[in-house]
A = this chain, B = another copy of it.
Protein backbone atom coordinates (compact mmCIF):
# COMPACT_ATOMS: atom_id res chain seq x y z
CA UNK A 1 0.00 0.00 0.00
CA UNK A 2 2.65 2.48 -0.99
CA UNK A 3 1.43 6.01 -0.52
CA UNK A 4 0.61 7.88 -3.65
CA UNK A 5 1.43 11.52 -3.21
CA UNK A 6 0.43 14.26 -5.54
CA UNK A 7 2.60 17.33 -5.82
CA UNK A 8 0.43 19.43 -3.53
CA UNK A 9 0.73 16.83 -0.86
CA UNK A 10 4.50 16.65 -1.16
CA UNK A 11 4.68 20.26 -0.09
CA UNK A 12 2.78 19.36 3.04
CA UNK A 13 5.34 16.71 4.00
CA UNK A 14 8.00 19.30 4.64
CA UNK A 15 5.61 21.31 6.75
CA UNK A 16 4.75 18.28 8.81
CA UNK A 17 8.39 18.01 9.77
CA UNK A 18 8.32 21.68 10.73
CA UNK A 19 5.16 21.04 12.72
CA UNK A 20 6.64 18.10 14.58
CA UNK A 21 9.57 20.27 15.61
CA UNK A 22 7.26 23.09 16.69
CA UNK A 23 5.15 20.80 18.86
CA UNK A 24 7.36 21.32 21.87
CA UNK A 25 5.95 19.65 24.95
CA UNK A 26 5.85 21.45 28.26
CA UNK A 27 9.24 20.88 29.83
CA UNK A 28 9.46 18.07 32.33
CA UNK A 29 12.49 16.79 34.21
CA UNK A 30 13.82 13.37 33.41
CA UNK A 31 16.54 11.45 35.22
CA UNK A 32 18.32 8.95 33.00
CA UNK A 33 20.31 5.92 34.16
CA UNK A 34 21.67 4.31 31.01
CA UNK A 35 23.55 1.10 30.33
CA UNK A 36 26.94 1.15 28.65
CA UNK A 37 27.75 -0.58 25.36
CA UNK A 38 25.41 -0.87 22.38
CA UNK A 39 22.43 -0.38 24.75
CA UNK A 40 23.49 3.25 25.09
CA UNK A 41 23.40 3.88 21.35
CA UNK A 42 19.65 3.22 20.98
CA UNK A 43 18.77 5.01 24.22
CA UNK A 44 20.68 8.08 23.05
CA UNK A 45 18.30 8.41 20.05
CA UNK A 46 15.32 8.63 22.42
CA UNK A 47 17.10 11.16 24.64
CA UNK A 48 17.88 13.39 21.68
CA UNK A 49 14.23 13.36 20.61
CA UNK A 50 13.07 14.07 24.18
CA UNK A 51 15.52 16.95 24.40
CA UNK A 52 14.26 18.29 21.06
CA UNK A 53 10.78 18.31 22.61
CA UNK A 54 12.02 20.60 25.33
CA UNK A 55 12.45 18.29 28.31
CA UNK A 56 15.22 18.84 30.77
CA UNK A 57 17.33 15.68 30.91
CA UNK A 58 20.02 14.70 33.38
CA UNK A 59 22.04 11.59 32.51
CA UNK A 60 24.02 9.99 35.31
CA UNK A 61 27.06 8.06 34.09
CA UNK A 62 30.38 6.86 35.50
CA UNK A 63 33.45 8.99 34.78
CA UNK A 64 34.87 6.11 32.71
CA UNK A 65 32.56 4.62 30.11
CA UNK A 66 32.94 2.25 27.20
CA UNK A 67 30.63 3.98 24.72
CA UNK A 68 28.67 6.57 26.71
CA UNK A 69 29.59 10.16 25.94
CA UNK A 70 28.34 13.63 26.84
CA UNK A 71 26.10 15.50 24.42
CA UNK A 72 24.73 18.97 23.84
CA UNK A 73 21.21 17.49 24.23
CA UNK A 74 21.39 16.72 27.94
CA UNK A 75 23.24 17.46 31.14
CA UNK A 76 25.66 14.75 32.23
CA UNK A 77 26.49 14.18 35.89
CA UNK A 78 29.38 11.82 36.40
CA UNK A 79 30.56 9.97 39.47
CA UNK A 80 33.98 8.51 40.16
CA UNK A 81 34.51 4.75 39.87
CA UNK A 82 37.19 2.42 41.25
CA UNK A 83 38.52 1.42 37.80
CA UNK A 84 40.41 3.17 35.04
CA UNK A 85 39.30 3.66 31.44
CA UNK A 86 41.92 1.11 30.33
CA UNK A 87 40.67 -1.52 32.79
CA UNK A 88 37.09 -0.98 31.59
CA UNK A 89 37.97 -1.19 27.88
CA UNK A 90 40.04 -4.30 28.54
CA UNK A 91 37.14 -5.94 30.39
CA UNK A 92 34.67 -5.23 27.57
CA UNK A 93 37.08 -6.40 24.88
CA UNK A 94 38.00 -9.52 26.80
CA UNK A 95 34.30 -10.59 26.79
CA UNK A 96 34.19 -10.27 23.00
CA UNK A 97 37.56 -11.79 22.35
CA UNK A 98 37.50 -14.75 24.75
CA UNK A 99 34.98 -16.27 22.38
CA UNK A 100 37.68 -17.04 19.84
CA UNK A 101 39.57 -19.34 22.18
CA UNK A 102 38.38 -22.87 21.72
CA UNK A 103 38.23 -24.64 25.10
CA UNK A 104 36.74 -27.86 26.46
CA UNK A 105 33.09 -27.52 27.53
CA UNK A 106 33.66 -27.32 31.30
CA UNK A 107 36.48 -24.81 30.89
CA UNK A 108 34.23 -22.79 28.60
CA UNK A 109 31.49 -22.74 31.25
CA UNK A 110 34.06 -21.61 33.78
CA UNK A 111 35.27 -18.86 31.39
CA UNK A 112 31.70 -17.64 30.84
CA UNK A 113 31.12 -17.66 34.60
CA UNK A 114 34.33 -15.67 35.16
CA UNK A 115 33.34 -13.21 32.43
CA UNK A 116 29.90 -12.63 33.97
CA UNK A 117 31.20 -12.23 37.52
CA UNK A 118 34.01 -9.93 36.37
CA UNK A 119 31.47 -7.86 34.45
CA UNK A 120 28.94 -7.69 37.31
CA UNK A 121 31.78 -6.84 39.75
CA UNK A 122 32.60 -3.86 37.55
CA UNK A 123 29.04 -2.61 37.35
CA UNK A 124 28.22 -3.32 40.99
CA UNK A 125 31.32 -1.39 42.04
CA UNK A 126 30.24 1.41 39.72
CA UNK A 127 26.72 1.41 41.19
CA UNK A 128 28.13 1.36 44.73
CA UNK A 129 30.23 4.41 43.93
CA UNK A 130 27.19 6.25 42.65
CA UNK A 131 24.94 5.37 45.60
CA UNK A 132 27.66 6.39 48.05
CA UNK A 133 28.26 9.70 46.29
CA UNK A 134 26.08 11.54 48.80
CA UNK A 135 26.58 14.91 47.07
CA UNK A 136 25.31 13.57 43.78
CA UNK A 137 22.43 11.64 45.38
CA UNK A 138 21.38 14.75 47.30
CA UNK A 139 21.48 16.76 44.09
CA UNK A 140 19.31 14.15 42.38
CA UNK A 141 16.84 14.12 45.28
CA UNK A 142 16.58 17.90 45.29
CA UNK A 143 16.15 18.08 41.53
CA UNK A 144 12.56 16.78 41.82
CA UNK A 145 12.55 14.78 38.64
CA UNK A 146 9.22 13.74 37.14
CA UNK A 147 10.40 10.25 36.21
CA UNK A 148 13.39 8.00 35.64
CA UNK A 149 14.23 6.53 32.24
CA UNK A 150 16.60 3.62 32.62
CA UNK A 151 18.06 0.54 30.99
CA UNK A 152 17.72 -1.79 33.95
CA UNK A 153 19.63 -4.82 32.70
CA UNK A 154 22.07 -4.14 35.53
CA UNK A 155 19.66 -2.63 38.03
CA UNK A 156 21.41 0.40 39.48
CA UNK A 157 18.66 2.63 38.03
CA UNK A 158 15.83 0.72 39.78
CA UNK A 159 17.65 1.03 43.16
CA UNK A 160 18.02 4.78 42.73
CA UNK A 161 14.40 5.12 41.50
CA UNK A 162 13.20 3.27 44.60
CA UNK A 163 15.26 5.60 46.79
CA UNK A 164 14.02 8.74 45.03
CA UNK A 165 10.44 7.36 44.75
CA UNK A 166 10.39 8.10 41.01
CA UNK A 167 8.07 6.43 38.48
CA UNK A 168 10.16 4.51 35.96
CA UNK A 169 10.21 3.75 32.27
CA UNK A 170 12.52 0.87 31.49
CA UNK A 171 14.13 0.61 28.07
CA UNK A 172 15.67 -2.77 27.25
CA UNK A 173 15.90 -5.80 25.02
CA UNK A 174 15.10 -8.14 27.91
CA UNK A 175 16.33 -9.20 31.33
CA UNK A 176 18.20 -12.41 32.14
CA UNK A 177 15.90 -15.36 32.96
CA UNK A 178 12.78 -13.50 31.80
CA UNK A 179 12.74 -11.38 34.94
CA UNK A 180 11.12 -8.53 33.00
CA UNK A 181 8.03 -10.59 32.13
CA UNK A 182 7.95 -12.02 35.64
CA UNK A 183 8.08 -8.54 37.16
CA UNK A 184 5.33 -7.31 34.82
CA UNK A 185 3.14 -10.27 35.96
CA UNK A 186 3.11 -11.53 32.39
CA UNK A 187 2.28 -15.21 31.86
CA UNK A 188 5.12 -17.18 30.30
CA UNK A 189 3.92 -20.60 29.08
CA UNK A 190 7.04 -22.76 28.75
CA UNK A 191 5.29 -24.94 26.19
CA UNK A 192 5.80 -22.46 23.37
CA UNK A 193 8.03 -19.71 24.74
CA UNK A 194 11.64 -20.86 24.46
CA UNK A 195 13.95 -19.74 27.24
CA UNK A 196 17.12 -17.88 26.33
CA UNK A 197 20.32 -19.76 25.45
CA UNK A 198 18.37 -22.92 24.54
CA UNK A 199 18.47 -22.24 20.80
CA UNK A 200 14.84 -23.43 20.64
CA UNK A 201 12.06 -21.94 18.55
CA UNK A 202 8.37 -21.60 19.48
CA UNK A 203 7.60 -24.83 17.59
CA UNK A 204 8.89 -27.43 20.01
CA UNK A 205 8.68 -31.21 19.86
CA UNK A 206 8.13 -33.06 23.15
CA UNK A 207 11.87 -33.52 23.82
CA UNK A 208 12.45 -29.83 23.12
CA UNK A 209 9.72 -28.86 25.54
CA UNK A 210 11.42 -31.06 28.14
CA UNK A 211 14.73 -29.30 27.37
CA UNK A 212 13.05 -25.90 27.75
CA UNK A 213 11.65 -26.98 31.11
CA UNK A 214 15.04 -28.23 32.26
CA UNK A 215 16.57 -24.86 31.36
CA UNK A 216 14.59 -23.22 34.19
CA UNK A 217 17.08 -24.10 36.98
CA UNK A 218 19.97 -22.98 34.73
CA UNK A 219 18.25 -19.60 34.33
CA UNK A 220 17.64 -19.43 38.04
CA UNK A 221 21.37 -19.88 38.71
CA UNK A 222 22.22 -17.33 36.01
CA UNK A 223 19.90 -14.84 37.66
CA UNK A 224 21.51 -15.43 41.03
CA UNK A 225 24.98 -14.83 39.56
CA UNK A 226 23.78 -11.68 37.82
CA UNK A 227 21.72 -10.10 40.55
CA UNK A 228 22.80 -11.33 44.01
CA UNK A 229 25.36 -8.55 44.48
CA UNK A 230 22.79 -5.97 43.37
CA UNK A 231 20.29 -7.36 45.86
CA UNK A 232 22.82 -6.97 48.68
CA UNK A 233 23.67 -3.47 47.52
CA UNK A 234 19.96 -2.50 47.27
CA UNK A 235 19.15 -3.92 50.72
CA UNK A 236 22.14 -2.10 52.24
CA UNK A 237 21.37 1.19 50.53
CA UNK A 238 17.59 1.19 51.03
CA UNK A 239 18.01 -0.20 54.56
CA UNK A 240 15.40 -2.92 54.11
CA UNK A 241 15.43 -6.41 52.60
CA UNK A 242 14.47 -6.13 48.95
CA UNK A 243 14.76 -8.51 46.01
CA UNK A 244 15.57 -7.52 42.45
CA UNK A 245 12.11 -8.72 41.43
CA UNK A 246 10.53 -6.32 43.92
CA UNK A 247 12.62 -3.50 42.47
CA UNK A 248 11.44 -4.31 38.95
CA UNK A 249 7.82 -4.80 40.08
CA UNK A 250 7.40 -1.06 40.38
CA UNK A 251 8.06 -0.30 36.72
CA UNK A 252 5.44 2.00 35.22
CA UNK A 253 6.14 1.15 31.59
CA UNK A 254 8.46 -1.37 29.95
CA UNK A 255 9.73 -0.27 26.54
CA UNK A 256 11.03 -3.49 25.00
CA UNK A 257 13.24 -3.42 21.92
CA UNK A 258 11.17 -6.28 20.62
CA UNK A 259 9.19 -6.91 17.44
CA UNK A 260 7.16 -9.97 16.48
CA UNK A 261 8.69 -10.09 13.05
CA UNK A 262 11.80 -11.23 14.90
CA UNK A 263 10.53 -12.50 18.28
CA UNK A 264 8.01 -15.28 18.82
CA UNK A 265 4.41 -14.15 19.53
CA UNK A 266 3.65 -14.50 23.24
CA UNK A 267 1.39 -13.08 25.95
CA UNK A 268 2.19 -9.51 26.91
CA UNK A 269 0.88 -6.95 29.41
CA UNK A 270 -0.68 -3.53 28.82
CA UNK A 271 2.36 -1.70 30.23
CA UNK A 272 4.77 -3.52 27.92
CA UNK A 273 5.32 -1.45 24.79
CA UNK A 274 7.28 -2.77 21.83
CA UNK A 275 9.86 -0.51 20.21
CA UNK A 276 11.97 -3.01 18.27
CA UNK A 277 13.82 -1.36 15.41
CA UNK A 278 14.01 1.97 17.26
CA UNK A 279 17.72 2.10 16.51
CA UNK A 280 17.02 2.28 12.76
CA UNK A 281 15.62 5.76 13.32
CA UNK A 282 18.97 7.53 13.21
CA UNK A 283 19.71 7.95 9.49
CA UNK A 284 22.28 10.24 7.95
CA UNK A 285 23.65 10.54 4.42
CA UNK A 286 26.94 8.66 3.94
CA UNK A 287 30.16 10.60 4.29
CA UNK A 288 32.09 11.26 1.08
CA UNK A 289 34.61 8.54 1.97
CA UNK A 290 31.98 5.81 2.34
CA UNK A 291 29.87 7.11 -0.53
CA UNK A 292 32.94 6.77 -2.79
CA UNK A 293 33.61 3.20 -1.66
CA UNK A 294 29.99 2.19 -2.23
CA UNK A 295 29.79 3.87 -5.63
CA UNK A 296 33.04 2.23 -6.75
CA UNK A 297 31.70 -1.22 -5.92
CA UNK A 298 30.08 -1.48 -9.36
CA UNK A 299 27.19 -3.77 -10.15
CA UNK A 300 28.20 -6.28 -7.44
CA UNK A 301 27.61 -3.85 -4.60
CA UNK A 302 28.97 -4.13 -1.09
CA UNK A 303 28.93 -6.38 1.97
CA UNK A 304 28.93 -4.80 5.44
CA UNK A 305 30.85 -6.70 8.11
CA UNK A 306 30.99 -5.87 11.82
CA UNK A 307 31.32 -7.98 14.95
CA UNK A 308 30.27 -5.11 17.20
CA UNK A 309 32.14 -2.71 19.40
CA UNK A 310 33.29 -5.33 21.90
CA UNK A 311 35.54 -7.14 19.40
CA UNK A 312 38.64 -5.14 18.49
CA UNK A 313 41.09 -7.99 17.94
CA UNK A 314 40.70 -11.47 16.44
CA UNK A 315 43.41 -14.17 16.60
CA UNK A 316 45.51 -13.79 13.42
CA UNK A 317 44.76 -17.32 12.23
CA UNK A 318 41.01 -16.68 12.40
CA UNK A 319 41.42 -13.20 10.86
CA UNK A 320 43.29 -14.73 7.92
CA UNK A 321 40.61 -17.39 7.49
CA UNK A 322 37.98 -14.65 7.39
CA UNK A 323 40.05 -12.50 5.02
CA UNK A 324 40.44 -15.47 2.66
CA UNK A 325 36.70 -16.14 2.69
CA UNK A 326 35.86 -12.49 2.02
CA UNK A 327 38.28 -12.44 -0.90
CA UNK A 328 36.29 -15.04 -2.82
CA UNK A 329 33.28 -12.81 -3.58
CA UNK A 330 33.08 -10.07 -6.19
CA UNK A 331 31.44 -7.61 -3.77
CA UNK A 332 33.42 -4.91 -1.97
CA UNK A 333 33.54 -5.80 1.72
CA UNK A 334 33.58 -3.07 4.35
CA UNK A 335 34.97 -4.70 7.49
CA UNK A 336 34.94 -2.82 10.77
CA UNK A 337 38.13 -4.10 12.41
CA UNK A 338 40.69 -2.39 14.62
CA UNK A 339 43.10 -5.32 15.02
CA UNK A 340 46.26 -6.16 13.09
CA UNK A 341 45.69 -6.29 9.31
CA UNK A 342 45.66 -9.90 8.05
CA UNK A 343 48.47 -10.24 5.48
CA UNK A 344 46.21 -12.10 3.03
CA UNK A 345 43.57 -9.36 2.93
CA UNK A 346 42.06 -9.36 -0.57
CA UNK A 347 41.70 -6.24 -2.69
CA UNK A 348 37.91 -6.24 -2.36
CA UNK A 349 38.11 -5.91 1.44
CA UNK A 350 38.47 -2.54 3.10
CA UNK A 351 39.26 -2.43 6.82
CA UNK A 352 37.75 0.53 8.70
CA UNK A 353 37.99 1.52 12.36
CA UNK A 354 34.31 2.50 12.39
CA UNK A 355 31.45 2.36 9.94
CA UNK A 356 27.99 3.99 9.77
CA UNK A 357 26.31 0.58 9.92
CA UNK A 358 22.65 1.56 9.54
CA UNK A 359 23.37 4.09 6.78
CA UNK A 360 25.44 1.57 4.83
CA UNK A 361 22.77 -1.13 5.25
CA UNK A 362 20.19 1.34 3.96
CA UNK A 363 22.15 1.79 0.71
CA UNK A 364 20.54 -0.06 -2.21
CA UNK A 365 23.96 -1.44 -3.22
CA UNK A 366 24.34 -3.41 0.02
CA UNK A 367 23.98 -7.11 -0.76
CA UNK A 368 24.69 -8.78 2.61
CA UNK A 369 25.48 -8.09 6.24
CA UNK A 370 27.95 -10.15 8.25
CA UNK A 371 27.05 -9.63 11.90
CA UNK A 372 27.67 -11.04 15.37
CA UNK A 373 23.83 -11.14 15.70
CA UNK A 374 23.50 -8.47 18.37
CA UNK A 375 19.86 -7.38 18.48
CA UNK A 376 20.66 -3.86 17.27
CA UNK A 377 22.45 -5.10 14.18
CA UNK A 378 19.71 -7.59 13.42
CA UNK A 379 17.03 -4.90 13.55
CA UNK A 380 19.14 -2.77 11.22
CA UNK A 381 19.37 -5.76 8.88
CA UNK A 382 15.59 -6.21 9.04
CA UNK A 383 14.75 -2.50 8.66
CA UNK A 384 16.90 -2.31 5.56
CA UNK A 385 16.03 -5.77 4.19
CA UNK A 386 19.61 -7.01 3.98
CA UNK A 387 20.13 -10.81 4.22
CA UNK A 388 22.62 -11.81 6.92
CA UNK A 389 25.54 -14.09 7.63
CA UNK A 390 25.42 -14.55 11.37
CA UNK A 391 28.47 -15.19 13.56
CA UNK A 392 27.06 -15.18 17.11
CA UNK A 393 29.63 -14.63 19.85
CA UNK A 394 27.95 -14.72 23.28
CA UNK A 395 24.87 -13.82 25.33
CA UNK A 396 21.59 -13.73 23.42
CA UNK A 397 23.34 -13.69 20.04
CA UNK A 398 22.92 -17.42 19.34
CA UNK A 399 19.16 -17.12 20.00
CA UNK A 400 18.98 -14.04 17.77
CA UNK A 401 20.84 -15.80 14.99
CA UNK A 402 18.58 -18.86 15.23
CA UNK A 403 15.51 -16.67 14.79
CA UNK A 404 16.86 -15.02 11.66
CA UNK A 405 17.90 -18.42 10.26
CA UNK A 406 14.52 -20.00 11.13
CA UNK A 407 12.86 -17.27 9.06
CA UNK A 408 15.09 -18.06 6.09
CA UNK A 409 16.71 -14.63 6.16
CA UNK A 410 20.27 -15.63 7.04
CA UNK A 411 22.92 -18.32 7.48
CA UNK A 412 24.64 -19.06 10.81
CA UNK A 413 28.37 -19.76 11.00
CA UNK A 414 30.18 -21.15 14.04
CA UNK A 415 32.86 -18.54 14.63
CA UNK A 416 35.31 -21.06 16.08
CA UNK A 417 34.92 -23.83 13.54
CA UNK A 418 34.19 -21.90 10.34
CA UNK A 419 36.65 -22.09 7.46
CA UNK A 420 37.27 -19.67 4.59
CA UNK A 421 35.14 -21.97 2.43
CA UNK A 422 32.23 -21.82 4.90
CA UNK A 423 32.35 -18.02 4.89
CA UNK A 424 32.48 -17.93 1.11
CA UNK A 425 29.57 -20.40 0.78
CA UNK A 426 27.44 -18.54 3.29
CA UNK A 427 28.02 -15.23 1.51
CA UNK A 428 27.33 -16.72 -1.93
CA UNK A 429 24.10 -18.22 -0.55
CA UNK A 430 22.64 -15.07 0.99
CA UNK A 431 23.71 -12.90 -1.96
CA UNK A 432 22.73 -15.15 -4.88
CA UNK A 433 19.99 -17.46 -3.55
CA UNK A 434 16.92 -15.25 -4.05
CA UNK A 435 14.96 -16.78 -1.17
CA UNK A 436 17.13 -15.01 1.45
CA UNK A 437 16.47 -11.60 -0.06
CA UNK A 438 12.77 -12.40 -0.52
CA UNK A 439 12.42 -13.53 3.10
CA UNK A 440 14.22 -10.54 4.59
CA UNK A 441 12.24 -8.26 2.28
CA UNK A 442 8.98 -9.76 3.58
CA UNK A 443 10.12 -9.42 7.21
CA UNK A 444 11.19 -5.86 6.53
CA UNK A 445 7.83 -4.93 5.00
CA UNK A 446 5.95 -6.42 7.96
CA UNK A 447 8.28 -4.69 10.41
CA UNK A 448 8.03 -1.29 8.78
CA UNK A 449 4.24 -1.44 8.29
CA UNK A 450 3.39 -0.05 11.72
CA UNK A 451 0.92 2.58 12.87
CA UNK A 452 3.57 4.68 14.60
CA UNK A 453 7.37 4.77 14.54
CA UNK A 454 8.92 3.06 17.60
CA UNK A 455 10.86 6.25 18.39
CA UNK A 456 7.63 8.29 18.63
CA UNK A 457 6.08 5.49 20.68
CA UNK A 458 8.99 5.50 23.13
CA UNK A 459 8.90 9.29 23.42
CA UNK A 460 5.13 9.19 23.99
CA UNK A 461 5.38 6.74 26.88
CA UNK A 462 8.27 8.53 28.58
CA UNK A 463 6.27 11.77 28.39
CA UNK A 464 3.14 9.95 29.59
CA UNK A 465 4.90 8.67 32.72
CA UNK A 466 6.46 12.09 33.38
CA UNK A 467 3.12 13.86 32.99
CA UNK A 468 0.90 11.44 34.90
CA UNK A 469 3.58 10.46 37.47
CA UNK A 470 3.40 6.83 36.42
CA UNK A 471 0.86 4.64 34.67
CA UNK A 472 -1.07 3.17 37.59
CA UNK A 473 -4.07 2.36 35.38
CA UNK A 474 -1.93 -0.17 33.49
CA UNK A 475 -0.76 -1.99 36.62
CA UNK A 476 -2.47 -5.38 36.92
CA UNK A 477 -4.03 -6.37 40.24
CA UNK A 478 -1.91 -9.54 40.05
CA UNK A 479 0.77 -7.56 41.91
CA UNK A 480 -1.35 -7.82 45.05
CA UNK A 481 -1.60 -11.62 44.92
CA UNK A 482 0.84 -14.24 46.09
CA UNK A 483 1.68 -17.32 44.01
CA UNK A 484 -1.04 -19.49 45.59
CA UNK A 485 -3.70 -16.81 45.14
CA UNK A 486 -2.60 -15.93 41.58
CA UNK A 487 -3.00 -19.53 40.48
CA UNK A 488 -6.30 -19.85 42.43
CA UNK A 489 -4.84 -22.81 44.30
CA UNK A 490 -6.58 -21.71 47.53
CA UNK A 491 -9.92 -21.42 45.69
CA UNK A 492 -9.52 -24.83 44.02
CA UNK A 493 -8.50 -26.41 47.35
CA UNK A 494 -11.50 -24.81 49.08
CA UNK A 495 -13.94 -25.95 46.38
CA UNK A 496 -12.47 -29.46 46.39
CA UNK A 497 -12.78 -29.52 50.18
CA UNK A 498 -16.43 -28.43 49.90
CA UNK A 499 -17.15 -31.09 47.28
CA UNK A 500 -15.36 -33.70 49.36
CA UNK A 501 -17.26 -32.66 52.47
CA UNK A 502 -20.55 -32.77 50.58
CA UNK A 503 -19.68 -36.22 49.28
CA UNK A 504 -18.75 -37.49 52.74
CA UNK A 505 -21.92 -36.05 54.27
CA UNK A 506 -24.05 -37.52 51.46
CA UNK A 507 -22.32 -40.87 51.87
CA UNK A 508 -22.77 -40.79 55.64
CA UNK A 509 -26.44 -39.87 55.19
CA UNK A 510 -26.92 -42.72 52.70
CA UNK A 511 -25.18 -45.16 54.99
CA UNK A 512 -27.23 -43.93 57.93
CA UNK A 513 -30.46 -44.30 55.94
CA UNK A 514 -29.45 -47.73 54.69
CA UNK A 515 -28.58 -48.81 58.20
CA UNK A 516 -31.91 -47.41 59.43
CA UNK A 517 -33.81 -49.24 56.70
CA UNK A 518 -31.86 -52.46 57.10
CA UNK A 519 -32.08 -52.22 60.87
CA UNK A 520 -35.80 -51.59 60.61
CA UNK A 521 -36.09 -54.42 58.09
CA UNK A 522 -34.03 -56.58 60.40
CA UNK A 523 -36.21 -55.73 63.35
CA UNK A 524 -39.33 -56.36 61.29
CA UNK A 525 -38.04 -59.70 60.08
CA UNK A 526 -37.01 -60.54 63.64
CA UNK A 527 -40.47 -59.66 64.83
CA UNK A 528 -42.14 -61.65 62.09
CA UNK A 529 -39.64 -64.44 62.78
CA UNK A 530 -40.59 -64.51 66.42
CA UNK A 531 -44.26 -64.35 65.41
CA UNK A 532 -43.88 -67.28 63.08
CA UNK A 533 -42.10 -69.29 65.77
Question: A residues within 8 Å of B by Cβ?
Answer: 1-6, 8-9, 11-13, 15-16, 18-19, 22-26, 28, 186-187, 189-192, 202-204, 206, 209-210, 213-214, 260-261, 264-271, 445-446, 449-452, 456-457, 460-461, 463-464, 466-468, 473-478, 480-481, 485-488, 490-492, 494-495
Contacts and interface: CB of A to CB of B under 8 A. Distances in A.
A476 B202 contact: yes
A23 B9 contact: yes
A243 B187 CA distance: 26
Contact of A191 (B5, B8, B213, B488): B488
A235 to B, nearest CB: 29
A192 B478 CA distance: 6
9 contacts: A3-B25, A8-B22, A9-B18, A16-B16, A186-B267, A187-B187, A190-B491, A192-B481, A264-B477
Contacts of A26: 1-2, 4
B481 A191 contact: yes
A487 to B, nearest CB: 7
A112 B12 CA distance: 56
A149 to B, nearest CB: 15
Contacts of A490: 206, 209
B477 A265 contact: yes
A189 B22 contact: no
Given A488-B191, A495-B213, A449 B477 contact: no
Contact of A476 (B25, B266, B473, B475): B266
A486 B189 contact: yes
Contacts of A204: 477
A191 B487 contact: yes
Given A260-B474, A270-B268, A8 B18 contact: yes
A439 to B, nearest CB: 12
Contacts of A271: 265
Nearest to A7: B22
A378 to B, nearest CB: 15
Contact of A449 (B456, B467, B486): B467
A261 B464 CA distance: 14
A486 B192 CA distance: 8
A32 B500 CA distance: 52
Nearest to A492: B213
A23 B5 CA distance: 6
B9 A19 contact: yes
Which among A22, A28, A210, A269 has the greatest number of chain B C-beta atoms within 10 A?
A22
A16 B16 CA distance: 6
A189 B487 CA distance: 7
Which among A265, A268, A271 has the greatest number of chain B C-beta atoms within 10 A?
A265
Contacts of A492: 213
Contact of A488 (B28, B189, B474): B189
B5 A12 contact: no
A474 B265 CA distance: 5
Nearest to A53: B1
Given A265-B269, A449-B464, A488-B213, A12 B9 contact: no
Nearest first, the 9 A-B pairs at minimum CB distance are: A9-B22, A12-B19, A202-B477, A451-B460, A187-B187, A192-B477, A12-B15, A265-B476, A1-B25
Given A191-B481, A477-B202, A491 B8 contact: no
Contacts of A13: 19
A491 B11 contact: no
A482 to B, nearest CB: 10
B268 A486 contact: no
Contacts of A485: 191, 209
Contacts of A4: 23-24, 26
A269 B486 CA distance: 19
Given A451-B460, A452-B452, A268 B269 contact: yes
A186 to B, nearest CB: 6
A445 B469 CA distance: 13
A28 to B, nearest CB: 7
A22 B5 CA distance: 6
Given A189-B478, A189-B486, A206-B491, 7 more contacts: A12-B19, A203-B480, A204-B477, A210-B495, A265-B475, A265-B477, A451-B457
Nearest to A451: B460
Given A265-B474, A480-B203, A491 B209 contact: yes
Contact of A267 (B203, B260, B268, B487): B268
Given A15-B16, A19-B16, A477 B260 contact: no
A190 B492 CA distance: 11
